[in-house]
Amino acid sequence: MEADRKSIHDFDVSLICEYFSNMERQGPGSPEVTVKALGFVNNLTRDSHIADIGCGTGGQTMVLADNTDGHLTGVDLFPAFIDIFNNNVNRRSLRGRVKGIVGSMFELPFDNEELDLIWSEGAIYNIGFEKGLKEWRRFLKPGGFIAVSEVSWFTTKRPEEIEDFWQDAYPQIDTIPNKIKLLQETGYIPVASFILPEECWIENFYEPQTEARRKFLEKYRGNKTVEDFIENEKNEARLYDKYKEYYGYVFYIGKKCDI
């Protein structure tokens, strides 16, 4: 059984996308946490331009829109997420100020020094924390801010089962001081960091998946890939419950400075 266990890398992205498009958020987070992180950013005006990278269906982007006056661009690789994003924009009458575009975080469609703030919740791991910080820096104005959330170790030692899981899923997982050091070394003043509360995973991420899972299994009854994928998601939730004192999501907020 253990030897059979699959990793998230074994599944088709369109399957993962369809599953997560049934949820408001595609990663751990909450409106309170978004607002708290935004509280450390103090350069915004009506003319500011904010980019939300790996925005998904835009759960956190809409919170940003409600709490800022500037222009917001959400970027995500998956057109299905951006469709939902732009429907949300229209429903909330935010057109003109907020837009979602399909694009890759590896090739962002911004000019150098165009942005006042780069936001990215639960997504920078796709390019890697260090590479993302380095490559996105040029899009920020001098003194611009970056705010990203990233899975991190809370302790210097961990039980083998969880160490192995994360070494496979995301080998760049590291301790909070090491992540802050990277923030500093890549050209940002480390302004703040804080651990996301547990309910960001449990109530806002894993619990809504129970319903998404039910719908999915119903639609794809008898499909072995889907059943394996669901098993994989359940295993991740089980591990979180067992080992949540050792790891979690952390918000890192930095201010662009000279290197």
Verify binding: residue 152, ligand SAH, rule CB under 6 A.
no
Interaction mask 126-145, ligand SAH, x per CB under 6 A:
x-------------------
- By CB under 6 A, name the one of 38, 59, 136, 153 that touches ligand SAH: 59
Q: Centre a 10 Å sphere on the Cβ of residue 218 and count the other Cβ atoms it contains.
A: 8
Q: What is the dihedral of CA 183, 124, 138, 74, to 10 degrees?
A: -140
The residue range among 71-79, 86-94, 163-171, 240-248 that interacts with ligand SAH, by the rule CB under 6 A, is 71-79
Verify binding: residue 248, ligand SAH, rule CB under 6 A.
no
Shortest spacing between CB 74 and ligand SAH, in angstroms: 9
Verify binding: residue 169, ligand SAH, rule CB under 6 A.
no
Residues 6+ apart with CB under 8 A from 159: 243, 246
- By CB under 6 A, name the one of 48, 60, 86, 193 that touches ligand SAH: 60
Q: How large is the greatest C-alpha to C-alpha distance in the chain, in angstroms?
A: 56
Residues 6+ apart with CB under 8 A from 34: 60, 63, 64, 67, 121
CA distance linking residue 35 with residue 9, whole number of Å: 32
Question: In the complex, which residues of this chain contact ligand SAH (CB under 6 A)?
Answer: 25-27, 29, 54-56, 59-60, 75-78, 81, 104-106, 121-123, 126
